[in-house]
Structure 1
Amino acid sequence: MTKTQIWVPVVTTIALSLAATSVSAKVSEAEAAKLGKELTCVGAEAAGNKEGTIPPFSGKWLGTPPGIKYSLHTGQHPVDVYPDDKPLFQITAANMDKYADKLSEGQKAMLKKYPDTFRIPVYQSRRDFRYPDAICEVAKKNALEAELTDGGLGYTGYKGPVGFPIPKSAMEVLANMNFPYRAYTEEMVRDIADVASDGSVTWGRQVNKNLNIVTQPTELGKPMEGLMAYSLSGTLLPERDRGSFTASQEPVNFAKAKRLAWQYDPGTRRVRQLPTYGFDSPLGGTSGKLTIDQDRLMNGDPSRYEWKLLGKREMYIPANAYRIHSNKVKYADLLQKGHANPDFERYELRRVWVLEGNLKDGYRHAFGKRVMFIDEDNWQASVGDYYDTRGQLWQHAFINHYYAFDLNAWQAGTSFYHDLNSGSYVGFNLIQEREKGYVLNKGDLTPEMYTPASLRALGQ
């Protein structure tokens, strides 16, 4: 039995085929009929667990809950809908063995490396938010009709929600992770903290404008084809890189097209097409500490890895993470030596799909293996463990997700990427001290903003 197999108990009743590249069959009418009943409309198990530590899905709220004051699409910082919740208990280095079966290898490594300061505060699990009915309808249609193509690099189906709410293979789970229902326009000025092992901080700052085509309201239910998304990022810090802009276009199917990207260099005042954009190229503003395909823990072309589905398990992951995104949080309090201050974190016991990617022979990447833990309720990767090409655990990362009222779905918020060797870490998508948080679904972005000509105009 391998090291990873030890801690991956399969708790789902759905049968799984672990073949990563086979063309998957559509689910039957009987299976699809479970959506919205035994399963949520996107395929999560609606029932709680037998211990009562994971509650049944209530789905009682769509959008802003009663009593919450929030201005949609303005960049207002998230408002905590559970302000009176207190931790049920804390997982520490002293008691981690008691909870080991519900922790990732990276979480265990963090507890061991920082036994006096790192802890996991566990709160009551909450499953109170739901998706719009229109999304649920397309998800059921995808369950009945969607199929993988091109070795899993594409699929037939319809835009909007996930393609495979009742997945049967690794590549179906990967497709769901890459195409969850999320914001169709996302704008932010994000701070990026490169925190050295001694606690000192080197700051990066970027302006980002992302247009997600497959979740645009006008594209809902249309065939899954063409472009997935556009992205524009401009560097504000560090000062030496200020004024550099990159625009990219992402295809739906990497077997039929590749990610295209152009960069404006303020030094030469010229725009050039980047020969390769993605994989383990350095992510701007992170001092080279993050790779481009680590944003959202994994993104882009997955073809350099062989993917295996290790089943579903219960795990403590960040969830309903409202408090950490408050504009009352100060970076000086949040960013501590070794890791972020656990006082601002909220973990819950939830069910996750476990997806493992191993670097193919003959391919190059900084990571020899990556393990993704994907929340069954929203299909977004919440925790990632990264291994070097020798098979040694190297990095542990996690994203603080919360349900955003602007989009009636879950938003990937502030994330942390820890180098377990050096003791440094990167705080990413920090908006706590920015005037605005994430501006979601404002609807003011267009494809014309992501061209070489638009980059030249930005540089003027």
Structure 2
Amino acid sequence: MKRVMWWVPLAATALLMTSVHVTAKVSPEEADRLGKDLTCVGAEKAGNKDGTIPPFTGKWLGTPPGINYKPNVGEHIVNPYPDDKPIYTITAENMAQYADHLTDGQKAMFAKYPKTYRMPVYQGRRDFRYSDAVCAAAKKNAVSAQLVDNGMGVTGMVYGAIPFPIPKNGYEALMNETLPTRAWTESNRHDTAAVNPSGGITWGRQNNLNLAPINNPANFGQPADATVQAYSLQLTLLPTREYGNASISQEPMNFATNKRLAWSYDPGTRRVRQLPEFGFDQPLGGTSGLLMIDEDRLFNGSPERYDFKLLGKREIYVPADAYKLHGGDVKYADLIKPGHANPDYMRYELRRVWVLEADLKPGYRHIYKKRMLYLDEDTWHAVMADNYDARGELWKHAEQNYYYAYDMDAWEAGNAFYYDLNSGGYVAYNLFQEAQKGPVLNKGDLRAADFTPEGLRSIGN
């Protein structure tokens, strides 16, 4: 039976506008829907009409009952759905039956790998929720947050939650993707596999530290008056030729009044220097030049080079509840295969996603002329992207796998896969299954002083 594509119509034409000068706070009456027919971050609580998307239950906060898990120490995540099996599998042979719920990038993957690419589809699960403090912050933001500086920043928001749970345009949706509830502190060792078309692998490895003061639970609900939203430090261990290279970056709250700052450390010269520019389509360290800095988590950094349009919602098969993929028993040799990751480890669910289109502005440069981002309505995280080259041709398809992290009562970005539809190569990013520890989240052991040029210089001492 052919399935019908559901496009959720936007409530007002303002949602399709790229201008951000007409945005206004939502009314108290509209914000009152949060926690009622909408979740506290604006997702529809109800399932869809045919029951293929379940209603939101939000029955679990933190570690589910019966799960043995010690938070904040880097335990590999435990699957709360170990008995779930695929309810059906989408293949190149039956893809037409499900085409209305697939993106152009997914269809291209079936066309390129008709014998090996498949999508195991599981029962939808919407069982986890944010804390009451996050929900209270989101409701405050709904009636007080506003875009400023042509969408480059936000005013009137409080810490702890997205600024626009009921978005009115693409820039508000992008700010939700930029400022969701994430880890406050994070440390991890992650591996990167740059896979060539024949299956050969160039490995990268980095130690990472991340600090997001805006996600410190002690600050939830307080005015977001910081100038820096997040700090990051990366130390490269592989490939060998890049061993010891390190960098730090500081992410501003407002990209118009402050820019992203970054410094690098060269072990050869033992010198630290400030980078004149950091971000956009500069290659990301440890990825053999195949992944751009602003592709981490599918999109990050300043929005200045693109016009953003919010195209409404679609029901799409997206990666979700990726516990099996991130188990400590997963071996890279079993996961990383020629062409694409092993589908046996993947989990797709039919979900409602916001569709956000980014079009390169005239006079600006980037390797991608257009980017289609798919934002999960339950979390506001970007879970898939289709990227187009300068000719407007589909070039890359990317998937970001999230799971609910019991350590922080929120969703954590796990493995991401970036597929080059032209060459047949791909990058498997943020792998940590074979590490002794998974990500150490919300331990609270990092401080801003760790992310300064002086702190970076100490790495080489």
Shorter-chain TM-score bucket reads: over 0.9
**Letter of the aligned partner of 1:139 in structure 2?**
A
**Letter of the aligned partner of 2:100 in structure 1?**
D
Q: Describe the SS at the equivalent of 2:191.
A: strand
- Note the 1:47-58 alignment, pairs <5 A: 47-58=46-57
Aligned partner of 2:364 in structure 1 is 363
Deviation at 1:19, TM superposition (A): 1.6
- Note the 1:307-456 alignment, pairs <5 A: 307-456=308-457
Q: Describe the SS at the equivalent of 1:236.
A: strand
Say whether the 8 Å CA contact 2:318–2:349 is kept in structure 1: yes
Aligned partner of 2:173 in structure 1 is 173
Q: Describe the SS at the equivalent of 2:197.
A: coil
Q: Which runs of 4+ in 1 moved over 3 A?
A: 12-16
**Letter of the aligned partner of 1:200 in structure 2?**
G
Indicate the larger mover: 11-20 or 395-404: 11-20
The whole-number CA distance in structure 2 between the counterparts of 1:381 and 1:228 is 18
**Letter of the aligned partner of 2:289 in structure 1?**
G
Say whether the 8 Å CA contact 2:133–2:160 is kept in structure 1: no
Deviation at 1:20, TM superposition (A): 2.2
Say whether the 8 Å CA contact 1:20–1:152 is kept in structure 2: no
Say whether the 8 Å CA contact 2:54–2:124 is kept in structure 1: yes
**Letter of the aligned partner of 2:291 in structure 1?**
L
- Note the 1:103-114 alignment, pairs <5 A: 103-114=102-113
The whole-number CA distance in structure 2 between the counterparts of 1:200 and 1:31 is 53
Deviation at 1:283, TM superposition (A): 0.1
The whole-number CA distance in structure 1 between the counterparts of 2:449 and 2:161 is 25
Aligned partner of 2:189 in structure 1 is 189
Aligned partner of 1:251 in structure 2 is 252
The whole-number CA distance in structure 1 between the counterparts of 2:85 and 2:370 is 36
**Letter of the aligned partner of 2:97 in structure 1?**
K
Aligned partner of 2:139 in structure 1 is 140
The whole-number CA distance in structure 2 between the counterparts of 1:180 and 1:8 is 28
* 2:197 maps to 1:200: no
Say whether the 8 Å CA contact 1:355–1:373 is kept in structure 2: yes
* 2:18 maps to 1:20: yes
**Letter of the aligned partner of 1:136 in structure 2?**
C
Q: Structure 2 vs 1, CA of residues 57 and 213 (structure 1 numbering), >3 Å: closer, same or farther?
A: same
Q: Deviations over 1:25-44 (max 9, x none)?
A: 11111111110010001100
The whole-number CA distance in structure 1 between the counterparts of 2:13 and 2:292 is 31
Aligned partner of 2:45 in structure 1 is 46
Q: Deviations over 1:406-447 (max 9, x none)?
A: 010111100100011110001000001010111110110100
Q: Describe the SS at the equivalent of 1:411.
A: strand
Aligned partner of 1:3 in structure 2 is none
The whole-number CA distance in structure 2 between the counterparts of 1:281 and 1:429 is 18
After TM superposition, the score normalised by the length of structure 1 is: 0.97
The whole-number CA distance in structure 2 between the counterparts of 1:127 and 1:168 is 25
The whole-number CA distance in structure 1 between the counterparts of 2:35 and 2:80 is 24
The whole-number CA distance in structure 2 between the counterparts of 1:276 and 1:32 is 39
The whole-number CA distance in structure 1 between the counterparts of 2:171 and 2:274 is 30
Say whether the 8 Å CA contact 2:10–2:312 is kept in structure 1: no
Say whether the 8 Å CA contact 1:375–1:381 is kept in structure 2: yes
Q: Deviations over 1:145-186 (max 9, x none)?
A: 111111111111112100000111111100000011111111
Say whether the 8 Å CA contact 1:353–1:374 is kept in structure 2: yes
The whole-number CA distance in structure 1 between the counterparts of 2:406 and 2:288 is 33
Give the fraction of aligned pairs with identical amino acids, expressed as a percent: 59
The whole-number CA distance in structure 1 between the counterparts of 2:148 and 2:239 is 42
**Letter of the aligned partner of 1:230 in structure 2?**
Y
The whole-number CA distance in structure 2 between the counterparts of 1:143 and 1:109 is 38
Q: Describe the SS at the equivalent of 2:412.
A: strand
Q: Describe the SS at the equivalent of 1:117.
A: coil
**Letter of the aligned partner of 1:44 in structure 2?**
A
Q: Deviations over 1:323-368 (max 9, x none)?
A: 0001111111000110000000000000000001111111111111
Say whether the 8 Å CA contact 1:8–1:311 is kept in structure 2: no
Q: Describe the SS at the equivalent of 1:171.
A: helix
Aligned partner of 2:119 in structure 1 is 120
Q: Structure 2 vs 1, CA of residues 71 and 14 (structure 1 numbering), >3 Å: closer, same or farther?
A: farther
Q: Describe the SS at the equivalent of 1:324.
A: coil
CA RMSD, Structure 1 to Structure 2 (Å): 1.1
Deviation at 1:14, TM superposition (A): 4.2
Q: Deviations over 1:185-220 (max 9, x none)?
A: 111000000111001111000000000121112332
- Note the 1:65-104 alignment, pairs <5 A: 65-104=64-103
Deviation at 1:22, TM superposition (A): 2.2
Q: Deviations over 1:123-143 (max 9, x none)?
A: 000000011001101100101
The whole-number CA distance in structure 1 between the counterparts of 2:154 and 2:303 is 14
Aligned partner of 2:228 in structure 1 is 227
**Letter of the aligned partner of 2:216 in structure 1?**
Q
Deviation at 1:16, TM superposition (A): 5.4
**Letter of the aligned partner of 1:350 in structure 2?**
R
Q: Structure 2 vs 1, CA of residues 161 and 35 (structure 1 numbering), >3 Å: closer, same or farther?
A: same
Deviation at 1:15, TM superposition (A): 3.8
**Letter of the aligned partner of 1:10 in structure 2?**
W
Deviation at 1:302, TM superposition (A): 0.9
Say whether the 8 Å CA contact 2:136–2:221 is kept in structure 1: no
The whole-number CA distance in structure 1 between the counterparts of 2:302 and 2:290 is 20
The whole-number CA distance in structure 2 between the counterparts of 1:392 and 1:94 is 24
Aligned partner of 2:158 in structure 1 is 158
Q: Describe the SS at the equivalent of 2:7.
A: coil
**Letter of the aligned partner of 1:258 in structure 2?**
K
The whole-number CA distance in structure 1 between the counterparts of 2:348 and 2:7 is 21
Aligned partner of 2:7 in structure 1 is 10
Deviation at 1:13, TM superposition (A): 6.4
After TM superposition, the score normalised by the length of structure 2 is: 0.97
The whole-number CA distance in structure 2 between the counterparts of 1:12 and 1:409 is 29
The whole-number CA distance in structure 2 between the counterparts of 1:315 and 1:33 is 28
Indicate the larger mover: 55-64 or 95-104: 95-104
The whole-number CA distance in structure 2 between the counterparts of 1:8 and 1:451 is 49
The whole-number CA distance in structure 2 between the counterparts of 1:159 and 1:67 is 32
Aligned partner of 1:149 in structure 2 is 148
Aligned partner of 1:217 in structure 2 is 217
Deviation at 1:455, TM superposition (A): 1.0
Aligned partner of 2:307 in structure 1 is 306
Aligned partner of 1:280 in structure 2 is 281
